């Protein structure tokens, strides 16, 4: 944990799983394009990420369906690290979404919830209907939610890692 007095600090929760993701064009399953996610200790992701053929072979070996992969449209190799800020707001500055927390999944969903939590409070304070102290509840409410979401996500990620 990197605390900085009075300011925002990033907290790296966990070193995440390495993932190769991308879109492929295919025929045979009623769809012409799908996004794939490849991860797992038994896969040589460095090698797979460099070869369209290896991506096709790996996908074919993992799913019991007859498909023909035609083309990798795009592909990216990344590490799904988990991180979050130590607070969601300081004075007139607020963070939400990926600026406040990050992991592979649920970032969009939880980012929208951040914005919803903050939005109506900003509107009431701006209109003079609520006291400024209402804005302090944004950080107080979102920190535990995001922290728990990341913990649950990490447990789920560990459970599906093979």
Ligand X SMILES: Cc1cc2nc3c(=O)[nH]c(=O)nc-3n(C[C@H](O)[C@H](O)[C@H](O)COP(=O)(O)OP(=O)(O)OC[C@H]3O[C@@H](n4cnc5c(N)ncnc54)[C@H](O)[C@@H]3O)c2cc1C
- The site for ligand X (CB under 6 A) is made up of 21, 97-98, 104-109, 111
Q: What separation, in Å, do the N-terminal and C-terminal C-alpha atoms of the chain show?
A: 29
The CB-of-22 to ligand X minimum distance in angstroms stands at 9
Cβ atoms within 10 Å of 82's Cβ, excluding its own? 21
Contact 23, 33 (CB under 8 A): yes
Query: 3 vs 109, which CB is nearer to ligand X?
Result: 109
Name which of 31 and 108 has its Cβ closer to ligand X.
108
* Nearer CB in complex with ligand X: 26/96: 96
Q: Please state the closest distance from residue 99 (CB atom) to ligand X, in A.
A: 6
Residues pairing with 140 in the sheet: none
Question: What is the nearest approach in angstroms of ligand X to the Cβ of residue 111?
Answer: 4
> In the β-sheet with 10-27, what is the strand arrangement from edge to edge?
33-38, 10-27, 68-85, 101-102
Nearest approach in angstroms of CB 109 to ligand X is: 4
Of 76 and 133, the one with the shorter C-beta distance to ligand X is 76
**Min separation Cβ 133 and ligand X, Å:** 26
Residue with tokens 């590490």: 79
- Residue nearer to ligand X on the CB measure, 130 or 141: 141
Query: Going by C-beta distance under 8 Å and a sequence separation of 6 or more, which residues neighbour residue 104?
Result: 16, 17, 19, 80, 153, 157
């Amino acid at each position: 944990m990197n605390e900085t007095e009075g300011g925002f600090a990033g907290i790296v929760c966990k070193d995440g799983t390495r993932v190769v993701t991308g879109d492929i064009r295919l025929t045979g399953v009623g769809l012409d394009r799908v996004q794939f996610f490849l991860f797992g200790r038994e896969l040589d992701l460095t090698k797979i990420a460099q070869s369209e053929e290896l991506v096709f072979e790996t996908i074919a070996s993992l799913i019991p369906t007859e498909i023909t992969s035609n083309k990798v449209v795009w592909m990216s190799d990344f590490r799904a690290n988990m991180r979050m800020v130590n607070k969601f707001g300081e004075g007139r500055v607020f963070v939400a979404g990926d600026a406040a927390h990050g992991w592979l999944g649920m970032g969009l969903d939880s980012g929208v919830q951040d914005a919803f939590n903050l939005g109506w409070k900003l509107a009431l304070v701006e209109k003079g209907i609520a006291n400024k102290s209402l804005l302090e509840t944004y950080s107080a409410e979102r920190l535990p939610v995001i922290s728990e979401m990341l913990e649950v996500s990490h447990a789920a990620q560990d459970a599906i890692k093979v």
